[in-house]
Amino acid sequence: MVERTSKFLLIVAVSVCFMLILYQYVGPGLSLGSPSGRSYAEEPDLFPTPDPHYVKKYYFPVRELERELAFDMKGEDVIVFLHIQKTGGTTFGRHLVQNVRLEVPCDCRPGQKKCTCYRPNRRETWLFSRFSTGWSCGLHADWTELTNCVPGVLDRRESAAAKTPR
């Protein structure tokens, strides 16, 4: 009899825990009402006016945010991908070399982290990133390091490609 009672109590306890978890995670998405009797639409605005102590650090005009740039892959344009840690940069950088539909797709060989991304009409790279050129400017190079380093690395690569016989 004791075994039956303990099994019953265990089943009841597990059921109660399951219902609490279900109510906690699924309940707020449903319109079950709130304990205070007010609906979510009636909640007061926490910040009705801007904070007078908040100072805008960066201002981006709408025309800057909505501008369109023409990228000429067959010309001399190069995309420099700035890899920032902990922002999904690795996933996005890998996406640039593996999943973007291009006239000449990047050549990614199994077992290698680097891919070769050449322009459609010549053997020059159009993408400067960790997955196309490696860590050419150092590990996790910031904007300043990339600005100083990229032109030299691209010049060295182009001169080395011109020297190799075809």
Domain boundaries along the sequence of the chain: 77-163
User: When comparing pLDDT for 102 and 42, which is higher?
Assistant: 102
Is the pLDDT reported for residue 80 higher than 50?
Answer: yes
Q: What is the pLDDT of residue 156?
A: 84
Active site residues: 140
Confidence of residue 30 (pLDDT cuts 50, 70, 90): low
Residues 6+ apart with CB under 8 A from 107: 115, 116, 117, 118
Q: What is the pLDDT of residue 140?
A: 74
Q: What is the DSSP letter of 118?
A: B
d(CA 31, CA 26) in angstroms, rounded, equals 10
Q: What is the pLDDT of residue 11?
A: 93
Q: What is the pLDDT of residue 47?
A: 58
- Taking all residues of the chain, what is their mean pLDDT, rounded to a whole number? 79
d(CA 147, CA 150) in angstroms, rounded, equals 6
Q: What percent of the chain has pLDDT over 70?
A: 78
